[in-house]
């Protein structure tokens, strides 16, 4: 309704025609009290709506931040996986014996056995203690 005063006039005319409420001494106070109560309720609902809207904005912001964080984590994982795949493809190619040729040793395998080859310098004696296990990492 575009004109609330006209509506209220009609409401009070209706009440006047169908009851004796407006003839009582307390009618004006009761109507004023009702208007105050409605105004308080309207203000309360406004504050509650603002709280809900604020919470929605905060949740949306937090969700966007989580999304950015999740996206960064996925990109980092993808980058690490790509780096790992690059390392594997360049330095970890199986040899003809289905093993690997590494810097300090190589190995081959079959279903029955594994052979590890560790090159030692010429002239190395079996009792030389300087070899140890330092190269086996």
Q: Is the dihedral of CA 55, 61, 64, 66 positive or negative?
A: negative
Q: By the 8 A CB rule, do 12 and 18 touch?
A: no
What is the pTM for the complete model shown? Answer: 0.41
Average pLDDT over residues 44-66: 89
Confidence category of residue 48, pLDDT binned at 50, 70, 90: very high
pLDDT tens sequence across 79-131: 777 766 665 555 678 889 888 888 888 989 988 999 998 888 888 887 765 55
Residue 44's pLDDT is 94
The helix/strand/coil state of 108 is strand
d(CA 58, CA 131): 64
């Amino acid at each position: 309704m575009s004109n609330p005063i006209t509506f209220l006039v009609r409401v009070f005319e209706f009440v006047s025609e169908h009851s004796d409420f407006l003839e009582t001494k307390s009618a004006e106070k009761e109507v004023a009290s009702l208007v105050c109560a409605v105004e308080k309720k309207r203000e309360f609902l406004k504050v509650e709506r603002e709280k809900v809207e604020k919470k929605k904005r905060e949740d949306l912001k937090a969700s966007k931040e989580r999304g950015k964080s999740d996206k960064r984590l996925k990109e980092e994982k993808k980058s690490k996986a790509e780096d790992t795949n690059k390392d594997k493809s360049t330095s970890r190619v199986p040899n003809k014996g289905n093993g690997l040729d590494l810097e300090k040793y190589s190995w081959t395998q079959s279903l029955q056995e594994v052979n590890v080859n560790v090159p030692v310098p010429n002239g190395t004696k079996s009792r030389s203690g300087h070899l140890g296990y330092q190269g086996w990492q």
